[in-house]
Chain A
Amino acid sequence: MEMNGAQLIVKLLERQGIKIIWGIPGGATLPLYDALYQSPIRHILTRHEQGAGFMAQGMARTTGKAAVCTATSGPGATNLITALADAHLDSVPMVAITGQVPTALMGTDAFQEVDTYGLTLPVTKHNFLVKAAADLLTVIPEAFRIAESGRPGPVVVDVPKDVQTQKVRFGQWPEPGVPGPVRWRDNGVLERMAQMIRQSKRPMFYVGGGVVASGGADLLRSASQKNGIPVVSTLMGLGAMAYDDPLFLGMLGMHGTPVANLAMARADLIIALGIRFDDRVTGKMEAFCADAAVIHVDVDESEIGKIRNASLGVCGDAATVLTKILPRMDTFTREGWHGEIASLKSPTPAAAEIKNPFHPSGIIRYIGNRAPEDAIVATDVGQHQMWTAQAYPVRHPRSLLMSGGLGTMGFGVPVAMGAAFANPHKKIVCITGDGSFLMNLQELATLAEHELNITIVLMDNGHLGLVRQQQEMFYSNHVFASKFTRSPDFSAIAQGFGIRAWDAGINGSNRSAIDEALAFQGPSLVVVPIDGTTNVYPMVPPGASNLEMIQEA
């Protein structure tokens, strides 16, 4: 067989099962686009490369499979970086193919030349700079294998223009890249783990994105029920347990439920599954579950002992370890421990807010109850995100999409779109804020073009609310650079893009607007003007112990 490098890339993507890629063409990817012209792969032309990166993430986050985006050299590649860094911190599998200036011009400060290899190195799981077209036969399948193996992550393949046009002759196709086998060495750790659980009086499951990524949600519920072990979750773990499961105590950490933080402090054994002791979760580390033994299960061995020494480290993915430990776990009810936890559950202001129909939390719970049971919700970053984490009735893994690690404003709309491309029969709800919404606004053009079934709920408080909140609480109420003195007419903007818009009235008082927007088949926006001074509670001050929760103003 003989073809050029660009055709080879496209054929290898087809063989990899890729049906759709997101990107923007440019000088250094014209050969690649000429090959795509002749391919059944659907190309979605976005309006900014960051949008392309986040749309690929939306597909990857809902399917667990590596999704593909592409950008040209120079500004195309730099525009992708935020989406790559975001995927890296949240362990999202993706493959980004970037064009590069011709090899002969590399290092000469050529037009649209940037050191993509150097720039993407710290924000990817791995990156390749391809020097010869024949290397693509190994690099492309390898990129998918790396992205999906073990702890998933983003991979960049940077391909100079002359490598795209270089002819390659080869005898046979390489096998598509598939995730490597799950690494597992027992070494008696399972028996030790079972023994620690058996001897524990007050065990807790502390679960994160690793449970969702490994497909371990059902196993977690079985283990929790069988041995009577309550569950708390990180932001990334939400959906692993249904929000109303009696054994689920909610999210822990900075904006977690009081009962989750209080119960963690009383536990004698923490079974940490697919988590990384993030500072927003633990608060002051020395005070976090100080007296508890820790079993830390993670597919990434470097996470074990990175922040907190584990009494027992178990290197394996959460689903595999749960499968193996379940038969070794006894059937327990642990009534004493559950009684103790029940005594920690007092009526909290945050719980009252969810029941208050005109508080943002109450509005979000209303939206969650009105949206179809299998709807997927994506958020942006800020107060609306925390209220969604606290109040949205999340029922299934991979149904809540949030920028956890990087905290990227502008994440919501393009990720919701990627989810819609990957799940064309489901309703997608994007909950955003007026700050975040403007950060990838240009993708409304792409959204209108493809008529995706997305309802954007814009909680408009006229502020960068989480910044304002911290200025109020910890910086002597020096509200500075966090209030917008003038806001655009968001409904008019949406309509300008050809998207139907509704106004839900102050604090969502006009519920029928929300209902109509949610019922609309196709892209819709509902603006919900909310009070500009409402804070997210509870809140653990940064660096404080999780027991120092501020409950209300």
Chain B
Amino acid sequence: MYDTIVELTVRNHPGVMSQITGLFARRNFNLEGILCRPEGDGGLSRMRLMIYTDERTEQLVKQLSKLYDVISVSIRQDRGPSRYRQLFEECWD
């Protein structure tokens, strides 16, 4: 099992987090961590989701891509989970 970072660009509105987390809940995908911040003028947000890699990761990416509020999806190979964990540690201080 290896941690993966999924990066999303999404439309920024109050319901968008429900759209993303709802997909994880109803399709029984795992979700270990979320980072989110608005982009530019606030019309879009960027999200980074930490997940455990398994054979369903490709299906997860396809399902995320279908959401109307999701503008783009990518797997960040260059931003490993250690950076993510480090950031969490800093936030919790």
Query: Which positions in A face B, CB cutoff 8 Å?
Result: 117-118, 121-122, 125-127, 129, 146, 300-302, 305-306
B-side contacts of A302, CB under 8 Å: 59, 62-63, 65-66
- Are B68 and A121 in contact (CB-based, < 8 A)? no
Which 3 A-B pairs have CB atoms at the shortest separation, nearest pair first? A302-B62, A126-B68, A122-B26
Q: Does B53 contact A (CB under 8 A)?
A: no
Q: Is B43 an interface residue (CB 8 A)?
A: no
With both chains docked as a complex, state the minimum distance between the C-beta of B3 and any C-beta of chain A, in angstroms.
22
Q: With an 8 A cutoff between CB atoms, is B40 at the interface?
A: no
Question: What's the least CB distance linking B12 to chain A, in Å?
Answer: 13
Q: Which residues of B contact A117 (CB under 8 A)?
A: 15, 18
User: Is B80's CB within 8 Å of the partner chain A?
Assistant: no
Q: Which of B33-91 contact A (CB under 8 A)?
A: 58-59, 62-63, 65-69
Question: Which A residues are CB-close (under 8 A) to B63?
Answer: 302
Could you write out 6 A-B pairs with CB less than 8 Å apart?
A117-B15, A117-B18, A122-B26, A126-B69, A301-B62, A306-B59
A122-B22 contact, Cβ under 8 Å, with A117-B15, A305-B59, A306-B59: yes
User: Which of chain B's residues have a CB closer than 8 A to the CB of A146?
Assistant: 68
**Closest CB in chain B relative to A455 CB, distance in Å:** 39
CB-CB contacts below 8 Å: B12-28 with A: 14-15, 18-19, 22, 26
Give complex CA distance A163, B34 in Å: 33
Report the separation of the CA atoms of residues A300 and B65 in the bound assembly, to the nearest whole angstrom: 11
Of the candidates B14, B62, B63, B65, the one having the most CB atoms from chain A within 10 angstroms of its own CB is B62
Give Cα distance in the complex from A126 to B70, angstroms: 11
Residue of A nearest to B25 (CB): A122
Closest to A306 in B: B59
A129 touches B22 (CB 8 A): no
With A and B bound together, what is the CA distance between A82 and B65 in angstroms? 26
Minimal beta-carbon separation of B30 from chain A (angstroms): 17
User: How far apart are B67's CB and chain A's nearest CB, in angstroms?
Assistant: 8
Q: Given A117-B15, A118-B18, A122-B22, A300 and B59 touching (CB < 8 A)?
A: no
Which of A121, A301, A305 is in CB contact (< 8 Å) with B19? A121
Given contacts A122-B22, A122-B26, A302-B59, contact A129 B15 (CB under 8 A): yes
**CB neighbours of A122 from chain B (8 A):** 22, 26
Beyond known contacts A126-B68, A126-B69, A129-B14: 6 more, CB 8 A cutoff: A117-B15, A121-B15, A122-B26, A300-B66, A302-B66, A305-B58
**In the complex, which residues of chain B have a beta carbon less than 8 angstroms from the beta carbon of A305?**
58-59
What is the bound-complex CA distance between A484 and B56, given in angstroms? Answer: 44
> Which residues of chain B have C-beta atoms less than 8 A from A126's C-beta?
67-69
- Minimum C-beta distance from A46 to chain B (A): 28
Q: Which A residues lie within 8 Å of B22 (CB)?
A: 121-122
Chain A residues positioned under 8 Å from B65 (CB to CB): 301-302
Complex interface: chain B residues within 8 A of A121 (CB): 15, 18-19, 22
- With a CB–CB cut-off of 8 A, which chain A residues contact B14? 129
**A121–B66 alpha-carbon span in the complex (Å):** 14
Which A residue's beta carbon lies closest to that of B58? A305
Q: Which of B26, B68, B69 has the most CB of A within 10 A?
A: B68
What residues of B have a CB within 8 angstroms of the CB of A118 in the complex? 18
A126 to B15, CA, bound (A): 11
Least CB distance, B54 to chain A, in whole angstroms: 14
* Bound-complex Cα distance A125 to B67 (A): 8
Distance between B13 CB and nearest chain A CB, rounded to angstroms = 8
B68 to chain A, nearest CB (A): 4
Q: How far, in angstroms, from A302 to B68 measured CA to CA in the complex?
A: 14
Residues of B within 8 A of A301 (CB): 62, 65
User: A508 to B66, alpha carbons, bound, how many Å?
Assistant: 49
Instruction: Please name the residue on chain B nearest to A142 by beta carbon.
Output: B68
Residues of A within 8 A of B58 (CB): 305
List of A residues within 8 angstroms of B67 by Cβ: 126
Q: What's the minimum C-beta distance from A128 to chain B, rounded to whole angstroms?
A: 9
Expressed in whole angstroms, the Cα–Cα distance for A70 and B44 within the complex equals 30
In the bound assembly, the distance between CA atoms of A136 and B58 in angstroms comes to 35
Query: Chain A residue with minimal CB distance to B64?
Result: A302
- A129 / chain B contacts, CB cutoff of 8 Å: 14-15
The distance in angstroms between the C-alpha atoms of A420 and B65, with both chains bound, is: 37
Which residues of A lie under 8 Å from residue B26 when comparing CB positions?
A: 122
Which B residues are CB-close (under 8 A) to A306?
Answer: 59
Residue on B nearest A122 in the bound complex, by CB:
B26
A66 to chain B, nearest CB (A): 15
Chain A neighbourhood of B69, CB < 8 A: 126
- Bound-state Cα–Cα, A435 to B59, Å: 38
How far apart sit A118 and B62, CA to CA, in the bound complex (Å)? 22
In the bound complex, CA of A306 to CA of B67 (Å): 16
- Report the minimal beta-carbon distance from A78 to chain B, rounded to whole angstroms: 17
Residue of A nearest to B23 (CB): A122
A125→B69 CA distance, assembly (Å): 11
State the CA gap A127–B68 with chains docked (Å). Answer: 9
Write the chain B residue with the least CB distance to A125.
Answer: B68
CB distance from A185 to the nearest CB of B (A): 14
> Which residues of A lie under 8 Å from residue B62 when comparing CB positions?
301-302
Give the chain A neighbours of B15 by CB distance below 8 A: 117, 121, 127, 129
Most chain B CB inside 10 Å of its own CB: which residue of A118, A121, A302, A305: A302
Q: How far is the CA of A118 from the CA of B65 in the complex (A)?
A: 20
A125 to chain B: which residues have CB within 8 Å? 68
Q: How far is the CA of A176 from the CA of B63 in the complex (A)?
A: 27
Which residue in chain B gives the minimum CB-CB distance to A150?
B66
Chain B residue at minimum C-beta to C-beta distance from A121 = B22
Q: Which residue of A122, A127, A146 has the most chain B CB atoms within 10 A of its CB atom? A: A122
